[in-house]
């Protein structure tokens, strides 16, 4: 029997406070029989710091494995001071808030540089982010960098770029999140993706198991239900099996459909 926790992202972030106040995170986990959940701690499209949660003790005491997704707006790779510096600050704030609820890790997108920027500057900015945090004792939980679907100067879209990123941050213990929709959109071979990524990072800490509404190599980040997209379902299930780590669904659907997807995953992994 596999001991891989499987679960689903819970909450939009926009209504997270109300959902939490109603005990929504753990209630939703129970509703879909999830052993893991992923949550936002604030609006993912905003720069606000996370507020204290009323369910801290419940989350810390629960057997449900919790992951936090940092806001989408964060871009520690940016050469723009007005983006990079607030990104570093907010990343630290979300890491502290994630540790406070007993999260197993915090997910953050790899980010990008723009225009005429040399990608080397972006990789170095990521190194500085971890190095400066290390000077203050390090992040209080694993920071898990996620691959992205598009962007010509993205830090974690191409495997070659990922290798350069890991040269910059690997020594600091950075973790990795493999998103299957993003990998498919970037043109990665899902039949060998686990091996390919581990050859670069040495690790996969979490899988976002998502199907795609678009063809391979589209550079489009549009998630589809596990069994209703362009990626063969068996290929996705094999990624989950091979990765051997926690799996979180970010698929569209209601609690009933997520419960079915979790049941399929659990049957496959078992």
Please state whether 140 falls in left (phi above 0), alpha (psi between -120 and 50) or beta: alpha
Cα-based distances in Å from 77 to 108, 121, 141, 155, 208: 12, 7, 20, 8, 22
Q: Coil, strand, or helix at residue 67?
A: strand
Is-contact 50 12, C-beta < 8 A?
A: no
Alpha-carbon distance of 186 to 72, in angstroms, equals 18
The predicted-structure confidence for 254-268, as pLDDT tens digits, reads as follows: 999 999 999 999 999
- Residue 20 has what pLDDT? 45
In our burial notation (b when 16+ CB lie closer than 10 A, e otherwise), range 225-235 reads bbbebbbebee
Torsion (CA) 82, 67, 230, 45 in degrees, nearest 10? -30
- Beta strands 206-208 and 247-249: pairing type? parallel
Cα-based distances in Å from 108 to 90, 215, 241, 257, 269: 11, 25, 23, 26, 26
Mean pLDDT across 198-210: 98
- Residue 124 has what pLDDT? 98
Alpha-carbon distance of 135 to 75, in angstroms, equals 20
Cα-based distances in Å from 242 to 4, 168, 193, 203, 204: 11, 26, 10, 12, 10
The predicted-structure confidence for 59-85, as pLDDT tens digits, reads as follows: 999 999 999 999 999 999 999 999 999
The predicted-structure confidence for 36-62, as pLDDT tens digits, reads as follows: 999 999 999 999 999 998 999 999 999
Mean pLDDT across 166-173: 98
Q: What angle do CA 128, 130, 136 make, to 5 degrees?
A: 105
Look at residue 4 and tell me whether its pLDDT is greater than 50: yes
- Among residues 113, 147, 144, the alpha carbon closest in space to that of 221 is found at 147
Alpha-carbon distance of 209 to 219, in angstroms, equals 17
Could you tell me which residues are beta bridge partners of residue 146? 109, 177
- Residue 2 has what pLDDT? 67
Task: Name the DSSP class of 170.
Answer: G
- Domains annotated on the chain, with CATH: 6-269 (3.20.20.150)
Between residues 18 and 117, the one the model is more confident about: 117
Alpha-carbon distance of 150 to 159, in angstroms, equals 13
The predicted-structure confidence for 80-101, as pLDDT tens digits, reads as follows: 999 999 999 999 999 999 999 9
- Among residues 202, 156, 144, 152, the alpha carbon closest in space to that of 183 is found at 156
Mean pLDDT across 109-114: 97
pLDDT band at 270 (very low <50, low <70, confident <90, very high): confident
Alpha-carbon distance of 266 to 115, in angstroms, equals 44
CB within 8 A of 213, min separation 6: which ones? 220, 222, 223, 224, 229, 230
Look at residue 13 and tell me whether its pLDDT is greater than 60: no
Mean pLDDT across 192-219: 98
């Amino acid at each position: 029997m596999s001991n891989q926790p499987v679960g689903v992202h819970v909450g939009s972030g926009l209504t997270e406070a109300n959902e939490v106040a109603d005990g929504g995170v753990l209630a939703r986990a129970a509703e879909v029989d999830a052993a893991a959940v992923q949550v936002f701690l604030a609006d993912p499209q905003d720069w606000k710091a996370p507020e204290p949660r009323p369910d801290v003790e419940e989350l810390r005491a629960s057997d449900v494995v919790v992951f936090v997704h940092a806001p989408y707006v964060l871009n520690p790779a940016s050469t723009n001071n007005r983006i990079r510096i607030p990104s570093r600050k907010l990343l630290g704030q979300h890491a502290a808030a994630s540790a406070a609820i007993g999260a197993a890790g915090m997910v953050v997108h790899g980010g990008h540089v723009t225009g005429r920027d040399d990608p080397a500057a972006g990789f170095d900015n990521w190194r500085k982010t971890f190095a400066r945090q290390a000077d203050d004792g390090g992040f209080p939980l694993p920071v898990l960098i996620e691959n992205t679907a598009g962007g010509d100067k993205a830090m974690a879209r191409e495997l070659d770029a990922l290798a350069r990123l890991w040269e910059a941050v690997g020594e600091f213990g950075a973790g990795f999140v493999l998103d299957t929709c993003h990998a498919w959109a970037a043109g990665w071979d899902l039949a060998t993706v686990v091996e390919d990524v581990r050859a670069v990072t040495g690790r996969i800490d979490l899988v976002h198991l998502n199907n795609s509404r678009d063809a391979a190599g589209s550079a489009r980040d549009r998630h589809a239900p596990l069994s209703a997209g362009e990626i063969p379902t068996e290929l996705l299930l094999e990624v989950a099996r091979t990765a051997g780590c926690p799996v979180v669904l970010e698929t569209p659907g209601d609690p009933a459909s997520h419960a079915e997807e979790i049941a399929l995953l659990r049957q496959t992994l078992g």
